Amino acid sequence: MEERAGGALWITPDRAQKHNALARHVLAGLAQVVSAAASQPGVRCLVLTGAGERYFAAGGDLVDLSGVRDREATLAMSEQARGALDAVRDCPLPVLAYLNGDAIGGGAELALACDMRLQAATARIGFIQARLAINSAWPRQSA
């Protein structure tokens, strides 16, 4: 999931076969790695990217989310995802999203949580939630 190169810590969730969908275990791992990275000596910035060439992240993992059926499970999933994005937003190191492929739905939310974005010429970013009759679930909550 991570690789060091010249002070940059590359974080690549490796789920290319699932279009790098953001399952709950992926979000939990992302939060842990990002939170731990700030204290690692020699790390000057983080770079998030997706495995393969087609997707940075295709949003939430629909198979994983199929078990989220009641209010409590929905709130827990949303809190976990928001916590992962907050770890990215609150990281004291610069966090760069390298959009090597499409960032869709929750993947677009993850890209926007980063400090900067670089995008491959063939990559697209899109909030498709409205077409699915859902709203963005992972924005920062205001106090």
Residue 139: inside a domain, yes or no?
A: no
- Six-digit token string for 55: 């997707």
Q: Which positions ≥6 away from 60 have C-beta within 8 Å?
A: 21, 22, 23, 81, 105, 106
Residue 28: inside a domain, yes or no?
A: yes
Most confident of 62-66, 72-76, 106-110: 106-110
The answer to whether the Cα torsion of 129, 133, 139, 142 is positive or negative is positive
Residue 113: inside a domain, yes or no?
A: yes
What pLDDT is stored for residue 47 in this prediction?
97
pLDDT of 102-140, one tens digit each? 999 999 999 999 999 999 999 999 988 777 666 666 666
Residue 45: inside a domain, yes or no?
A: yes
Would the pLDDT of 93 be above 90?
A: yes
Residue 18: inside a domain, yes or no?
A: yes
What pLDDT is stored for residue 3 in this prediction?
74
Whichever domain contains 53, its CATH number is 3.90.226.10
Q: Is 119 helix (H, G, I), strand (E, B) or coil?
A: strand
Residue 137: inside a domain, yes or no?
A: no
State the alpha helices, DSSP H only, in 14-70.
Answer: 24-37, 62-65
Question: What strands lie across the sheet with 95-99, from one edge to the other?
Answer: 2-5, 8-11, 45-48, 95-99, 116-119
pLDDT of 3-49, one tens digit each? 787 899 999 988 989 999 999 999 999 999 999 998 899 999 999 99
Instruction: Answer for the pair 105, 59: CB distance below 8 angstroms, yes or no.
Output: yes
The count of structural domains within the chain is: 1
Q: Is 75 helix (H, G, I), strand (E, B) or coil?
A: helix
Residue 95: inside a domain, yes or no?
A: yes
The answer to whether the Cα torsion of 85, 63, 65, 80 is positive or negative is negative
Task: Residue 70: give the domain boundaries.
Answer: 2-132
To 10 degrees, the CA torsion angle through 36, 37, 42, 45? Answer: -160
